[in-house]
Amino acid sequence: MILAAGAASRMGKAKMLLPCNGQSILEHIIAELKALQPQAICLVTGKYHEAISQTINDQAITLVYNEQWNQGMGGSVQTGMKALLQQCPDLDLVWIVVGDQPFLHRSVLQEMLHRQQQTQKGIVAAQYNGVKGTPVLFGAGYFNALQKLSGDKGARVILQEHPEDIATVAFPEGELDIDTPEDYERFLRQLNQ
């Protein structure tokens, strides 16, 4: 599940569609996810639904519009979970990925999968700068809780409620997400180094 529903108010435009190595950040993230051959990829849109649907023209991606996108991330997770479970009722793991982490790489996702199999934990979270965050891999035991999220309470609430069931994978580059024009400039500088 890729979350790309927000207003990007500090950026002032669709940050997930900014250029990144000859494609948009969102296209890069989709390519990294597709490399793992998941059963399904659900892209949850909101404010920039039109722009995203014009850019992402891929039969392997299910675009789902969250009508309450302006109420926060919880509703987007709920919308995405419902769509994924309709498409794949036998799903046993779900990644929640955000559309503005340009350094996301398939190796991080593969390591998360490996860590889940190794530890049998219900949650595997990326860790950067002392924070457990996205991407996050959830086992089926959390699907009900994910479907009940609403408002601005994202999946982090579930992480806070179940610290004993979390394994982590280091993803220092995950600290950089694109929220402002300055973040994007910093990202381009790092990319060019």
Is the entire prediction scored with pTM above 0.85?
yes
The class of domain 2-192 in CATH terms is alpha beta
Give the other-Cβ count within 10 Å of 144's Cβ: 9
- For residue 190, the model assigns a pLDDT of 84
- For residue 46, the model assigns a pLDDT of 95
- For residue 179, the model assigns a pLDDT of 82
Give dist(CA 40, CA 51) in Å, integer.
22
Give dist(CA 99, CA 174) in Å, integer.
12
Residue 67 structure tokens: 């009508």
Walk along the chain (193 residues) and give the pLDDT tens digit of each residue. Answer: 999 998 888 888 888 999 988 899 999 999 999 999 999 999 999 999 999 999 998 888 999 999 989 888 999 999 999 999 999 999 999 999 999 999 999 999 999 999 999 999 999 999 999 999 999 999 999 999 999 998 787 888 999 999 999 999 999 999 888 888 888 888 888 887 7
- Amino acid making up residue 68: Q
- For residue 61, the model assigns a pLDDT of 95
Domain boundaries, the chain: 2-192
Give the other-Cβ count within 10 Å of 170's Cβ: 11
Q: How many residues does the chain have?
A: 193
